[in-house]
């Protein structure tokens, strides 16, 4: 994960464009989920953050050495529904201790803890350093869904 972060941070704009071309070929649905943010009124700064997150996620996928299956629109929808159900459950909990325990269980069970932690931290920093936008819900859903699609993608049986 650290290697992927460093690799993306060191990339020139031309290298990033080349990586976006690779994403378009290998994972077009993930790229589309980021590109649609413009149509949803998401600010350019948040669009850029989402694209940088996708670059990092894809670079990490490449560096894992695994043969990643195509993440379909159906899989994206499944992960979005799953995450929304988790958020509804979390919101239904009353006591802080219950919420803290539930959150810890979620993090402990997540297959991509490092990626989740990095994206959560970067997203929190962005939100603390910029005004809240009406379109933040779309932006947050896309960024979290990138992580969850990568974490929970079903690999074909060998």
Q: What is the distance, to the nearest Å, from the Cα of residue 63 to the centroid of all Cα atoms in its chain?
A: 17
Measured distance CA(145)–CA(79) in Å, rounded: 6
Tokens encoding 100: 């803290």
> Residue 6: which domain range?
2-152
pTM: 0.86
Helices (H), the chain: 2-10, 13-26, 28-35, 44-64, 73-92, 96-109, 113-128, 136-152
The better pLDDT of the pair 127, 35 is held by 35
Q: 20: closest CA among 60, 68, 58, 50?
A: 58
What would the mean pLDDT of 125-139 be, rounded to a whole number? Answer: 90
In a domain, residue 158? The reply is: no
Q: 32-77, pLDDT tens digit by residue?
A: 999 999 999 999 999 999 999 999 989 988 888 877 889 999 999 9
CA atoms within 13 A on the CB side of 152: 20
Tokens encoding 30: 């993930």
Q: What are the CA-CA distances from residue 153 to residues 7, 68, 81, 104, 122 (Å)?
A: 23, 8, 14, 22, 23
Element (H, E) at 64: helix 44-64
In a domain, residue 157? The reply is: no
CB 51 within 8 A of CB 142: no
Count of domains for the chain: 1
- pLDDT at position 36: 96
Q: What percent of the chain has pLDDT over 90?
A: 54
């Amino acid at each position: 994960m650290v290697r992927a972060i460093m690799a993306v941070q060191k990339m020139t704009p031309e290298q990033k464009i080349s990586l976006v071309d690779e994403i378009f070929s290998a994972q077009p649905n993930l790229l589309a989920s980021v590109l649609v943010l413009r149509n949803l009124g998401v600010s350019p700064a948040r669009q850029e953050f989402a694209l940088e997150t996708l670059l990092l996620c894809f670079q990490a996928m490449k560096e894992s050495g695994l043969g990643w299956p195509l993440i379909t629109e159906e899989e994206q929808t499944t992960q979005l529904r799953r995450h929304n159900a988790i958020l509804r459950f979390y919101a239904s909990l009353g006591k802080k201790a219950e919420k803290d325990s539930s959150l810890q269980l979620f993090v402990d069970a997540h297959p991509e803890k490092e990626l989740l932690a990095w994206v959560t931290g970067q997203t929190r920093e962005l939100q603390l350093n910029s005004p809240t936008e009406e379109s933040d819900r779309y932006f947050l859903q896309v960024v979290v869904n990138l992580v969850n699609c990568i974490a929970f993608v079903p690999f074909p049986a060998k």
